[in-house]
A and B are shown apart, each in its own frame.
Chain A
Amino acid sequence: MSLLEVESINTLYGDSHVLFDVSLHVEENEVVALLGRNGAGKTTTLRTLMGALAPRSGTIRLDGRPIQGLPPEKIARVGMQLVPEERAVFGTLTVEENLRVARLTAPNGWSLDRVWEVFPRLKERRTSRGRTLSGGEQQMLAIARALIRDPRIILLDEPFEGLAPLIVQDLIALTRRLAEEGRTIVVVEQNVAAVLSFAQRVYGFNNGHVVYEGSAAALRADPAPMRAFMGLAA
């Protein structure tokens, strides 16, 4: 049994049907990338997994337990943690307060000291308000806020978007380290090359359908299938 099993979910966003019978699975300690053009349904998939959107039909099981239709706070307590695209750092709260909010309902989560070890930069800025952080620092805080809860699965939505190249390198290194430590991660990212450097498996999305499934190694060796879902004609 996989850690996460998603069976033919359909999600509507307002009046538009966004996900069509999406099925996927994620094993323990695995890093899975969801790739596809903008608007292909990747972010919607993550938001549906987290419970921020309710699927119209289909099942989602985490550790064998059905979680579809539950509110986000219940799903978070089962061990799923989304790091949203817009980061959603609390701007009027300090770095430390941001982390403390996250830890409130995770009794077995990390200590602050453990977070400071992984993110020395955040320790330096622990009393700064979220809105004063740089984009890269905000992204680190967003990831740290997920890690402090010590979740079973982390969902990373576009972690490298809109950041300077040097910061992106730092974040790639961090993500790779998490992968090597055996964290289970589902990542959505446009920077395909970066993602393929640490992901083990890939799902390709197009128009709300899963159109490809394969190993990252295979894609690295032969990128041809990517044209079907990344969209640049040769």
Chain B
Amino acid sequence: MPSTAVLLSQAFNGLALGSLLALVSSGLTIILGTLGVLNFAHGALFAVGAYTAFVMMQATQSFVLALLGGCAVMLIIGFAMERLVIRHFYARPDEDQILVTYGIGMVLVEGLRTWFGGNSQRVPVPSWGTGATKLGFLVYPTYRLQLIGIIAALLVGLYLVLYRTSVGLVVRAGIENAGMVGILGIDVRRTFLFVFAVGIVAVGLAGMLYAPVVAVTPDMGASFMVQSFVVIVLGGLGSFPGAIVGGLIAGEIISLTSAFNSAYSEVMLYGLMALVLVARPQGLFGTEGRV
């Protein structure tokens, strides 16, 4: 049995990982819920976010400026992807959507590899985030605590956009019945474009924020993407609250399991997913599955 201190620190790690997964998955789930497209390029876009932070950080030496610039870059990528490719696939079968987004992901990852080489890059921890913080019962890296706070703020912001603005109102209505939204005079395609871009910015931000903690490589997003698939299955496809709760559950499962036996952390996660798919395929928050 691991000590309380180990468990506590793992619980914190779980919170950090969970909040990151929540941010990645919320982007994935609102795109899936509104547009009906499962974005297999999501992992690649996570890496694109991290590399953007790397480049911007080198150029500006300011993490905040890097984040702002990074959001602008992600926004442009999101718009371009939707306009050039994704919108031609709304009416195509699921399989085609999966294939084309997988292809985009492949191109993005290989683009990064061509541009930056296959070796890992480092993004420095911002000056205000260095060192460790004493929490009384444990000492924890400051930036990781800040990470939890920043992501929480971002998720609250996303919540406010979705639940307190008229754009959010349209998005939530569109998740249910895009056709009826059009009949009520609203251009659904513009909403789709907006949702897609927001989803891409969300995953890009996750990549930027995570960059100082890990080695930045072209393939870094793949495991996050698969884990975020697990998250949205847990939370219910297309459910924003589900993505947050599911993200935290997944993060804690991975971290707490590894406190006992790190070999089983990911296995546990996928085992849980299998269980949910058999027992409650609509997930925790989904009223019904899309299939």
Direct contact of A and B (CB under 8 A): yes
Question: Which of A19-27, A85-93, A133-141, A195-203 participates in binding chain B?
Answer: A85-93
Q: How far is the CB of B176 from chain A (nearest CB, A)?
A: 5
Bound complex: CA A26 to CA B143 (Å): 67
For the residues of B in contact with A, the DSSP-based class is: helix
Bound complex: CA A77 to CA B179 (Å): 15
Q: How far is the CB of A212 from chain B (nearest CB, A)?
A: 28
**Contact present for A101 and B176 (CB under 8 Å):** no
**A50 part of interface (Cβ distance < 8 Å):** yes
Which residue from chain B places its CB closest to the CB of A47 in the assembled complex? Answer: B183
Interface size class of B (residues with CB under 8 A): 10 to 19
Inter-chain contact total with CB atoms closer than 8 Å: 69
**Contact present for A101 and B170 (CB under 8 Å):** yes
Q: Per-residue 0/1 for B165-191: is the Cβ within 8 Å of any A Cβ (1 yes, 0 no)?
A: 010011011011101111111111000
CB contact between A52 and one of B166, B179, B185 (< 8 Å): that residue = B179
CB contact between A90 and one of B166, B180, B186, B187 (< 8 Å): that residue = B180
Bound complex: CA A81 to CA B183 (Å): 7
Contact of A93 with B173 at beta-carbon distance under 8 Å, contacts A84-B180, A100-B166, A104-B166 already known: yes
Interface residue tally for chain A (C-beta within 8 Å): 25
**Contact present for B186 and A101 (CB under 8 Å):** yes
Contact of A77 with B185 at beta-carbon distance under 8 Å, contacts A52-B179, A88-B180, A104-B166 already known: yes
**Contact present for A104 and B186 (CB under 8 Å):** yes
CB contact between A101 and one of B169, B175, B179, B187 (< 8 Å): that residue = B169
Chain B residues within 8 Å of A91, by CB? 176
Task: Mark out the residues of chain A between 93 and 109 whose CB falls within 8 Å of any chain B CB in the assembled complex.
Answer: 93, 97-98, 100-102, 104-106
Q: How far is the CB of B283 from chain A (nearest CB, A)?
A: 15
Chain A residues within 8 Å of B179, by CB? 52, 72, 88
Bound complex: CA A93 to CA B180 (Å): 13
**A180 part of interface (Cβ distance < 8 Å):** no
**Contact present for B185 and A104 (CB under 8 Å):** yes
Chain A residues within 8 Å of B184, by CB? 73, 76, 101-102, 104-105, 145, 149
Task: Mark out the residues of chain B between 202 and 237 whose CB falls within 8 Å of any chain A CB in the assembled complex.
Answer: none
Contact of A105 with B186 at beta-carbon distance under 8 Å, contacts A52-B179, A84-B180, A88-B177 already known: yes
Which residue from chain A places its CB closest to the CB of B239 in the assembled complex? Answer: A92
**Among all A-B residue pairs, the 5 with the closest Cβ atoms:** A76-B185, A105-B185, A88-B180, A72-B182, A72-B183
Given A71-B187, A76-B184, A106-B185, 5 additional A-B pairs, CB 8 A:
A73-B185, A76-B185, A84-B180, A93-B176, A97-B172
Chain B residues within 8 Å of A71, by CB? 182, 187
**Contact present for A92 and B172 (CB under 8 Å):** yes
**A82 part of interface (Cβ distance < 8 Å):** yes
5 inter-chain pairs at a CB distance below 8 angstroms, sorted by A residue, are A73-B184, A73-B186, A88-B180, A90-B172, A105-B185
